[in-house]
Amino acid sequence: MRATRYPVAMEPENTTHFGYREVPVAEKQKLVGEVFSSVAGNYDVMNDLMSFGIHRLWKRHFVATSGIRKGDRVLDLAGGTGDIAALLLPRVGGQGEIVVADINAAMLHAGRDRLLDRGMLNGLRWAQANAEALPFPDAAFDAVTIAFGLRNVTDKDQALREMHRVLKPGGRALILEFSKVNQDWLKPLYDFHSFQVLPRIGKLVAHDEGSYRYLAESIRKHPDQATLKAMMEAAGFRNVQVRNLSAGIVAIHRGYRI
């Protein structure tokens, strides 16, 4: 009597989202890297066109309410554009330091060159680093900032744990990121701008429609305010606070290492 052979169940491939596409986890970092290498040269111009210049106000408010002080050592993750570092540098003063880290070399070089052109050299360090595996010792920083970068990280929970690890006791993590619009009247206008206007602007200005379509999709796939707050708490942060800006188009999350 022959034994009956049953098909072997295959383990589903470990996947994650890249915009609205499901891709193997191992590929997402490469795909995101290609997006930001493509847009690096036009990133500042495109940010102005994408947000009508409001991103500059969001970033200024983010830094102005950060609580970062003279002498602080700050890690600015996904900071390749240099925008946040330039705003933070006067706040930490000559005794402080900003370490600008980004996984993408093209973005890092573009930001560094721009700040060098503005005469910003002292108090800045630049490091190519993956937010999921930071090359810094425990308790090395008074604050960690990340502006419009967390949504592009493959393993956000691991990145949050790393942010917590490198903070000193009493240190704070500050996250500025697109979030969930909380005004019903604004949602259709926001969707139209994101999916109809933004890719066309990308095609005309940066000759890259696909990358800007991904950026719009990545915003919709990012955890909403309450979910990200819970993720921060699970990573060990305490006294996590959320502040919505522009009807929730963006939100600032703040959490402390106790």
CA distance 74 to 76: 6
Name the one residue in this structure whose structure tokens are 């093209």.
Answer: 106
Of 256 and 197, the one with more pLDDT: 256
How high is the pLDDT of residue 210? Answer: 81
CA distance 214 to 224: 18
Query: For 16-33, how does the pLDDT look when each residue is reduced to its tens digit (9 = 90+)?
Result: 766 666 768 767 677 666
CA distance 75 to 251: 20
The DSSP secondary-structure symbol of 195 reads I
Q: What is the largest CA-CA distance in the chain?
A: 84
Instruction: List Cβ neighbours of 43 (8 Å cut-off, separation of 6 or more).
Output: 36, 81, 107, 110
- Sheet order of strands, 167-178 included: 124-128, 97-102, 73-77, 141-147, 167-178, 250-256, 238-245
How high is the pLDDT of residue 26? Answer: 66
How high is the pLDDT of residue 224? Answer: 97
Are the beta carbons of 149 and 131 closer than 8 angstroms? yes
Q: Which residues pair with 102 in a beta bridge?
A: 128
CA distance 57 to 246: 11
pLDDT band at 201 (very low <50, low <70, confident <90, very high): confident
Mean pLDDT, residues 140-160 taken together: 96
Mean pLDDT, residues 71-83 taken together: 94
User: pTM for this one?
Assistant: 0.86
Q: Is the pLDDT of residue 11 over 60?
A: no
What is the secondary structure of 108-129 as a DSSP string? HHHHHHHHHHTT--TTEEEEE-
pLDDT band at 10 (very low <50, low <70, confident <90, very high): very low
pLDDT band at 81 (very low <50, low <70, confident <90, very high): confident
Segment (H or E) for 76: strand 73-77
Domains observed in the chain: 16-256 (3.40.50.150)
Query: For 160-188, how does the pLDDT look when each residue is reduced to its tens digit (9 = 90+)?
Result: 999 999 999 999 999 999 999 999 999 99
Q: Which residues pair with 73 in a beta bridge?
A: 97
Q: Which residues pair with 245 in a beta bridge?
A: 250
Burial classification of residue 1, based on how many CB atoms lie within 10 Å of its CB (0-12 exposed, 13-18 middle, 19 or more buried): exposed
CA distance 172 to 148: 17
Query: For 36-56, how does the pLDDT look when each residue is reduced to its tens digit (9 = 90+)?
Result: 666 566 667 767 777 888 999
